[in-house]
Amino acid sequence: MFLQDLILIIKHMQKLITYDLREVRDYEDLYKEISSYQDAKRVLESVWMINSPLTCKEIADRLLSFIDCDDGLLVSECQNYAHYKLLKS
């Protein structure tokens, strides 16, 4: 692996996005925003995987405008993961 390849991989780390929409459950605008990221894939009911050079904080800050103040949001960087019974594409 060349240094250029390693830098590209680091810049485009896979991110996990998960959320709890508690009172008002209006998902459409949030789904549209998450879907706009590179390789966005909804893997569980409230869990998405994306590729992005943005930091987790930058992504969370963007998504905050699509959820209510009583909702929960977590954006995390993933380097390795296992899966079982994901949603069908």
What is the chain's mean pLDDT, rounded?
A: 82
What CATH number is attached to the domain comprising 28? Answer: 3.30.70.2360
Evaluate whether residue 36 is within a structural domain.
yes
Does residue 9 belong to any structural domain of this protein?
Answer: no
% of the chain at pLDDT higher than 90: 51
Q: State the total domains in the chain.
A: 1
In this predicted structure, what is the pLDDT of residue 87? 75
pLDDT of residue 86: 74
Q: How far is it, in rounded angstroms, from Cα 22 to Cα 70?
A: 7
Tell me what pLDDT residue 21 has. Answer: 85
User: Does a structural domain hold residue 60?
Assistant: yes
Range of the domain at 40: 14-78
Report, as ranges of residue numbers, the positions in the chain whose pLDDT lies below 50.
1-10
What does the H/E/C string look like for the chain? CCHHHHHHHHHCCEEEEEEECCCCCCCHHHHHHHHCCEEEEEEECCEEEEECCCCHHHHHHHHHHHCCCCCEEEEEEECCCCCCCCCCC
Residue 75: the pLDDT is 97
